[in-house]
Structure 1
Amino acid sequence: MARLSFRQVEAFRAVMIAGTTTGAAEILCISQPAVSRLLSDFEESVKVTLFERHKKRLLPTPEAMILFEEVEKSFVGIEKLARTAEELRDFHRGTLRIVCMPALAQDFMPQVVHDFMADHKGVAVTLQVRSSQQVADWISTQHFDIGISAIKVSDPAIEVQSLASSQLLCALPPNHRLASKAVIIPQDLEGEMFVSLGTEQSVRYKVDEVFEQAGVKRQLLFDTQVSHVACAYVLAGSGVSLVDPATAINYSKRGLVVKPFKPKIEFNYNIIYPATRSKSLLAIDFSELLCKRLKALSQESNGLFVYGEG
């Protein structure tokens, strides 16, 4: 079997395209004698006459044409590989799988994903919505690249980074008796119809503990596992609630009255990754955009979203 070098094959291909060693030298950015030497070595290696010399031109033999077809197949594959690498480097190729807790999924995350995809043409994105615990489960099993969760998990299969540390806000219906009050405290909500987040939400127990310590009784007749349903229910005039700031601010644009609540009940936005594999460039780029947008949301919230990095 002939022992060929890539440089010899490259010189043969350049001569086939240019028709002369001088033209091939220009393509390869080397000297004409270097091309002639590589071509001679190539012919010696394959032990087949590849060209007939006619004045200054090289006329390929039928054997050369057959060999050129095979060479082109290889170079097409190499060029495709190079293009793919360039697309990956420039974020125009690849997939990003995101699983997000409901608190950010209704309005905020779709807008961030839309803007990300607009800047990364050709990238395919999956966005699934699950509870914070399910987010952690899917990340630990490497089904997704990025997870957005409200809980900090202790799992060696998961890497946790804090996106933002804020606090719950009080959601009131339009024209509520407390609408003009600057800050809501537990005693203000004595006897109110209270929309609770479901028992599968860890923040539910923090909220209940605050009211129990204050000795405040609420009407607990309705609960839901997602904060945007709680906001929609309150906006319809049916009670009050404590919800995460991103959801509350989104609904304030629709008429929901949103107020700070004391004592502070912390609510964290965390980004989590599979710990047993490295993060893709797309995942890193998306995470940076996500942090940037949360900071912008905080700056535009008139002090409602008190953003702090954990």
Structure 2
Amino acid sequence: MNFRQLEIFRAVISGGSASRASELLNISQPAVSRSIAELEASIGFQLFDRVRGRLVITPEGQLFADEVATAFLAMDRLKASSLKIRDFGSGHIRIASLAALGSTLVPRAIKLFQDDRKNVAVTLHIDSSPNVRELVAKGQFDIGLAADEIDLSGVDHQRFASFKAVCVLPPEHPLTSQKAIRPEFLHREPFIALAAGDRTREDLDAIFRKHDVVPTIVIETPNSATVCALALEGVGVGIANPIAADGFLERGLEVRPFMPDVYFKSHLIFRPDVQRSQIVNAMASALMKARSLPPTGAKSLRHAS
């Protein structure tokens, strides 16, 4: 039994005769009759009775026809799936991201991605940069966004972005009168610090030491978004990734440039064990494009100072 025999069998049922099946498949009528005889021989029972030159399906043949129809339906679904994989890759993509980008830039990228690929499911997971790296390295996620302090061995990677740090201030804070914030302005100032081990925190500490500045650290947090939230509540001032400030300006957060320049750097990381699918490449392109897009429905940080 082979696929061609089953195809001819279906054509005989659909057309009602061997002659009609030959027309449908563009083969000779003897070829149809020979294929049916070979199929009957291979399965061990008769599919058709020959009545006055006509093929009449047997009860066993009808049962077999029902199974063949189910198999061909599954084949049709398989063909449709193969076309979707050809055009879009697999139907599901999993993204892991550090918090600063996962609640701001990444959603904008997902919108860009799904404008062209509405049938592709997306899973978004927010985690620390080291955990993002582990999830991608172990193959549990397809693509990741992580800060540059992670170990890049064991993953494919490329530089994603380098965002210039900003100083975030409570509403009506005295330092809002300044056009830019310098290290000396923060001496003894209640300060919301990034967590120890953060690359930007290390750069800031080096700047503070160089200028003999000692901020009064009132709280530490690994997330720039939390720095913004705490500053908005008046806990202190902080240095944050400008992307994480999306949405806080409308609520009253004040943002100023920080000098000298300090950067939040990030990497795009990929699974090392598989070739990137079309949808992974498409999501990477959407993430790259989203870097230059303003926050949806929000004023740009360019107008915050």
Judge same fold: TM > 0.5, yes or no.
Answer: yes
Shift of residue 255, structure 1, vs aligned partner: 2.0
Shift of residue 186, structure 1, vs aligned partner: 1.3
Q: Quick one: which amino acid aligns to residue 131 of structure 1?
A: S
Distance 1:209 1:27 in 2: 80
Confirm or deny that 1:94 pairs with 2:91: yes
Give the one of 135, 139, 144 matched to 1:142.
139
Q: 1:132 to 1:44 in 2, by over 3 A?
A: closer
Q: Is this contact kept in 1: 2:8–2:35, CA < 8 A? A: no
Q: 1:176 to 1:7 in 2, by over 3 A?
A: same
Deviation larger for 19-28 or 148-157: 19-28
Q: Is this contact kept in 2: 1:159–1:275, CA < 8 A? A: yes
Q: Quick one: which amino acid aligns to residue 40 of structure 1?
A: R
TM-score (normalizing by structure 1): 0.83
Give the one of 276, 280, 283 matched to 1:279.
276
Give the one of 14, 18, 35 matched to 2:15.
18
Give the one of 37, 46, 64 matched to 1:43.
37
Q: Is this contact kept in 2: 1:148–1:269, CA < 8 A? A: yes
Shift of residue 211, structure 1, vs aligned partner: 1.2
Distance 2:23 2:150 in 1: 60
Shift of residue 207, structure 1, vs aligned partner: 1.0
Distance 2:69 2:38 in 1: 20
| Mapping 1:77-116, distance limit 5 Å | 77-91=74-88, 94-113=91-110, 116=113
TM-score (normalizing by structure 2): 0.84
| Mapping 1:1-310, distance limit 5 Å | 4-21=1-18, 23-25=20-22, 27-28=24-25, 30-31=26-27, 33=28, 36-47=30-41, 49-52=46-49, 58-91=55-88, 94-113=91-110, 116-117=113-114, 119-151=116-148, 153-297=150-294, 301=300, 303=302
Distance 2:193 2:51 in 1: 90
Q: Quick one: which amino acid aligns to residue 102 of structure 1?
A: A
Q: Which runs of 5+ in 1 are unaligned?
A: 306-310
Q: Quick one: which amino acid aligns to residue 31 of structure 2?
A: R
Distance 2:291 2:202 in 1: 26
Q: 1:65 to 1:153 in 2, by over 3 A?
A: same
Q: Is this contact kept in 1: 2:169–2:237, CA < 8 A? A: yes
State the percentage of identical aligned residues.
31
Total equivalences in the alignment: 299
Q: Quick one: which amino acid aligns to residue 275 of structure 2?
A: S
Distance 1:260 1:186 in 2: 11
Measured on the aligned residues, the alpha-carbon RMSD in Å equals: 3.0
Q: Quick one: which amino acid aligns to residue 78 of structure 2?
A: L
DSSP-derived class of the 2:96 partner: strand
